Amino acid sequence: DIRLSRRVNAVRPSPTLAVTARAQQLRRAGKDIVSLGAGEPDFDTPEYIKEAAIAAIHRGFTKYTAVGGTPELKAAIIGKFAHDNHLSYHPDEILVSVGGKQSFFNLCQALLDAGDEVIIPVPYWVSYPDIVLLAEARPVIIDTDASQRFKISPEQLEEAITPSTRLLVINSPSNPSGVAYSRPELEALGEVLRRHPHVLIASDDMYEKIRFYEEDFVNIANACPDLTPRCIIMNGVSKAYAMTGWRIGYCAGPKALITAMNTVQSQSTSNPTSIAQVAAQAALEGGDSAIHEMVHAFKRRHQYVYDRLQALPGVAAMPSDGTFYSFPGFREVMAAKGLRDDLALAEALLEAGVAVVPGSAFGTPGHIRLSFATSDKNLEMALDRISAFINA
Ligand code: PLP
pLDDT tens, residue by residue, 338-388: 999 998 999 999 999 999 999 999 999 999 999 999 999 999 999 999 999
**Cβ of residue 171 lying under 6 Å from some atom of ligand 1:** yes
Q: How far is CA 189 from the centre of its chain?
A: 20
User: Is it true that 6-44+289-391 and 63-285 share their CATH fold?
Assistant: no
Task: Tell me what the mean pLDDT of segment 129-142 comes to.
Answer: 97
3-state secondary structure of 371: strand
Write the CA distances from 3 to 6, 9, 229, integer angstroms.
9, 10, 42
CA of 39 to the centre of ligand 1 (A): 8
3-state secondary structure of 72: helix
Task: Confirm or reject CATH 3.40.50.720 for domain 63-285, answering yes or no.
Answer: no
Opening angle at CA 252, ends 80 and 231, nearest 5? 120
**Cβ of residue 253 lying under 6 Å from some atom of ligand 1:** no
Quick: pLDDT tens for 116-127. Answer: 999 999 999 999
Quick: pLDDT tens for 187-215. Answer: 999 999 999 999 999 999 999 999 999 89
Q: Specify whether the CB–CB gap between 288 and 77 falls below 8 A.
A: no
The secondary structure element, H or E, covering residue 79 is helix 71-85
> 345: Cβ–Cβ under 8 A, 6 or more apart, which residues?
330, 333, 334, 337, 339, 358, 368
Query: At residue 20, does pLDDT exceed 80?
Result: no
Q: Specify whether the CB–CB gap between 155 and 189 falls below 8 A.
A: no
Query: At residue 16, does pLDDT exceed 70?
Result: no
What is the interface pTM, i.e. ipTM, of the complex?
0.99
Confidence of residue 18 (pLDDT cuts 50, 70, 90): confident
Could you give phi then psi for residue 352, rounded to 5 degrees? -80, 0
Task: Confirm or reject CATH 3.90.1150.10 for domain 6-44+289-391, answering yes or no.
Answer: yes
| Nearest residue by C-alpha to atom 8 in ligand 1 | 39
> 374: Cβ–Cβ under 8 A, 6 or more apart, which residues?
34, 35, 36, 38, 42, 382
CA of 101 to the centre of ligand 1 (A): 6
Task: Tell me what the mean pLDDT of segment 218-238 comes to.
Answer: 98
Pocket test residue of 108, 124, 127, 174 for ligand 1, highest count of atoms within 8 A of CB: 127
| Nearest residue by C-alpha to atom 10 in ligand 1 | 100
Query: At residue 15, does pLDDT exceed 70?
Result: no
**Cβ of residue 208 lying under 6 Å from some atom of ligand 1:** no
Q: Which of 5-9, 59-63, 132-136 has the lowest mean pLDDT?
A: 5-9
Half-sphere exposure for 199 (CA within 13 Å, toward CB): 26
Opening angle at CA 216, ends 213 and 222, nearest 5? 135
CA of 206 to the centre of ligand 1 (A): 6
CA of 158 to the centre of ligand 1 (A): 27
Quick: pLDDT tens for 143-168. Answer: 999 999 999 999 999 999 999 999 99
Please report, for the chain, the start and end positions of each structural domain, with discontinuous segments joined by +: 6-44+289-391, 63-285
Quick: pLDDT tens for 56-113. Answer: 999 999 999 999 999 999 999 999 999 999 999 999 999 999 999 999 999 999 999 9
Task: Tell me what the mean pLDDT of segment 44-66 comes to.
Answer: 97
CA 53/CA 276 separation, integer angstroms:
7
CA 363/CA 215 separation, integer angstroms:
29
CA of 275 to the centre of ligand 1 (A): 20
CA of 69 to the centre of ligand 1 (A): 19
